[in-house]
Amino acid sequence: MQYFFQQIVNGIGDGAIYASLGLALVLIYRTTNIANFAQGEMATFSAYIAWQMVDWGVPLWWSFLIAIAVSMVVGVLAYLLLVRSVQHRDELTIVIVTLGLFLAFNSFDGAMWGFLQLSLPSPFPEKSFAIGALRFNAELLGTIMILIAISIGMFLLLQHTRLGTALRASASNATSAMLVGIPFTAMMAIGWGLAAGLGAVSGLLVGPKLTLDPNMMGAIIIYAFAAAVVGGLTSYRGAVVGGAIVGISQALSMAYLPWLGSDLQILLPLMLIVAVLIIKPEGLFGSTVVIRV
Amino acid sequence: MNVLEIKGVSAGYGRIPVLHHVSLVVGEKSIAVLLGANGAGKTTTLRAVSGMIKYTGQILLDGKDLKGRGPDQIARLGIAHGVQGRGTFSDLTVEDNLAVGAFRRRDKAEIAVDIDQMYTLFPRLRERRKQKAGSLSGGEQQMLAVGRALMLKPRVMLLDEPSLGLAPVIIDDLYEALQRVNRLQGIAMLIVEQNANLALEIANDAYVLETGSMVLSGTARDVSENDGVRAAYLGN
Ligand SMILES: Nc1ncnc2c1ncn2[C@@H]1O[C@H](COP(=O)(O)OP(=O)(O)O)[C@@H](O)[C@H]1O
Ligand SMILES: [Mg+2]
């Protein structure tokens, strides 16, 4: 029984990472109606920026902050230079553009930093705490606390600031947003910038856990999509709950279904997506998607 | 002094022309009504004013040329456009809809007072303040659209068929509110209607658009006594 709960705890830790990337996906989907397949590769790029800073001798936490800031600028530029011109085109065009972004970041990382595995130091101490029979290491607690902080921050920003209201208004009705004086393009760019910042956090959490290479986020972006789709791609709460569900189910399947092997384990979140889409196409938390002009 | 001047404006969609040298003025603190059959180009006229489509000719707000500015810039200069079919933010609450209407303003304390004023003007909105706009009835959404436009504290408010699809009692309430706002706050209005009785009653000036050309203009009284107008828009 203790083993079972320990798996759940570990699963929540991984789930928090999927959730932070999932939140980025939801943010972009809600503000620009785009499923950003490049989100994971953008996060890998963020991890490389942090690695580069560390390599240049910048203190670790500063490196991480700089990486987040650079990522946000890159997110804004990705929107302004590329996504904006296709935003109102058909879905296939948009999918292809985000896949293009995926390849662009992936090859840029490879060209800049090579395909060898690098290691990004962890920002958390190597301590662990026991609560009853369960063990929590600092990394796990830190990851969960960061996710909680991000969730609270996003809630306050979106629900309780002028900028947040303007972002929600632009997502809800582009024409009316402009007609009340909201600079629509700027809002979309800010949405992409914030999402890139959230994605960067997930990249910075994953980097030290795995090894840093251009394909680091390959499986994780799939888990993040699974998490976001559990929430219908439109619900922030859904992405967080979805992240936990995916993380826990993955941990449990690794613990109790080892005969599946690591190749089949990765199918689990996909099966979850399919199951959710069959049972409840709008997701467990999603609202019906509002068609925007 | 005129708040809004439309001078010889021609506009259309792509290569298809819709408006032909349309001219119209809205005076300080006054209400102008723009009448016309379906497809005459009324909505297109409002779209040109709020910068949603390109045009030739001139549109001036307080003497300032609006050409080349985007809708968000024009809104910040003080033109509030309530679009046909409401255009509220359906997944924002009623209160957030009103708050976002004040986006161009910085006077936080005043904004709270004005939101309260909107609730006094439209008491049904106060009851529904925490509800999403998408869940309101048609009449309530139209009131919200007007309230949101007023929150901008506009120099001039453009309303596109505000009575469309509403029950007669609700239309009466709405027009009474519009008249009150105009009297008390001096906000100028350009109201587009097909169903013209009430609009002509509260308006100072009236214009009639036919297939993209202005065929009649004058005081609201003169226009409402015109035989053609009586037959076409007043149902008698
Ligand atoms: N978005 C659009 N694209 C192309 N043509 C349009 C569009 N909107 C309106 N039109 C055309 O412009 C003409 C005038 O329309 P509109 O201004 O909406 O008239 P009204 O508001 O007086 O009913 C109509 O012939 C209509 O078909
Ligand atoms: Mg119309």
Which pLDDT belongs to residue A91?
86
| Residue-by-residue DSSP string for B89-126 | -TTSBHHHHHHHHTTT---HHHHHHHHHHHHHHSHHHH
Strands (E), B68-212: 79-82, 156-160, 188-193, 205-210
**pLDDT tens-digit readout, A191-237:** 999 999 999 999 999 999 988 999 999 989 999 998 898 777 888 88
Question: Which of the residue ranges A105-119, A126-140, A177-191, B160-174 would you say has the lowest mean pLDDT?
Answer: A126-140
pLDDT beyond 60 at B139: yes
Instruction: Give the nearest partner residue to B99 out of A165, A175, A178, using CB atoms.
Output: A165
Residues with CB under 6 A from ligand 1: B 13, 18, 36, 38-44
B226 CA to chain A: closest CA distance, Å?
35
Which pLDDT belongs to residue A286?
60
Instruction: Starting from the CA of residue B85, give the closest ligand.
Output: 2
Instruction: Starting from the CA of residue B160, give the closest ligand.
Output: 2
pLDDT band at A283 (very low <50, low <70, confident <90, very high): low
Give dist(CA B232, CA B196) in Å, integer.
10
Do A175 and B83 make contact, defined as CB atoms within 8 angstroms? yes
Phi, psi of A90 (to 5 degrees): -70, 165
**pLDDT tens-digit readout, B23-76:** 999 999 999 999 999 999 999 999 999 999 999 999 999 999 999 999 999 999
pLDDT beyond 80 at A34: yes
Angstrom distances, CA of residue A49 to CA of A74, A111, A198, A212, B142:
11, 14, 15, 11, 50
**pLDDT tens-digit readout, A98-107:** 999 999 999 9
Interface mutation target, options B47, B97, B100, B158, chain A, most CBs of A under 10 Å? B100
Do B76 and A179 make contact, defined as CB atoms within 8 angstroms? no
Whether residue B75 lies within 8 A of chain A, CB to CB, comes out as yes
The interface predicted TM-score of the complex, written ipTM, equals: 0.91
pLDDT beyond 80 at A289: no
Whether residue B78 lies within 8 A of chain A, CB to CB, comes out as no
DSSP β-bridge partners for residue B80 = B157
- What is the rounded average pLDDT of the residues A256-281? 78
Question: Which of the residue ranges A61-70, A123-132, A207-216, B106-115 would you say has the lowest mean pLDDT?
Answer: A123-132
Decide: B60 and B23 in contact? Cβ < 8 Å. Answer: no
Which pLDDT belongs to residue A43?
97
* HSE of B72, CA atoms in CB hemisphere, 13 A: 15
Mean pLDDT of chain A: 89
Higher pLDDT, B45 or A133: B45
Interface mutation target, options B86, B91, B108, chain A, most CBs of A under 10 Å? B91
Decide: A235 and A228 in contact? Cβ < 8 Å. Answer: no
Q: What is the atom index within ligand 1 of the atom nearest the CA of B212? A: 14
Least Cα distance to A43 among A176, A177, A175, A219 occurs for A219
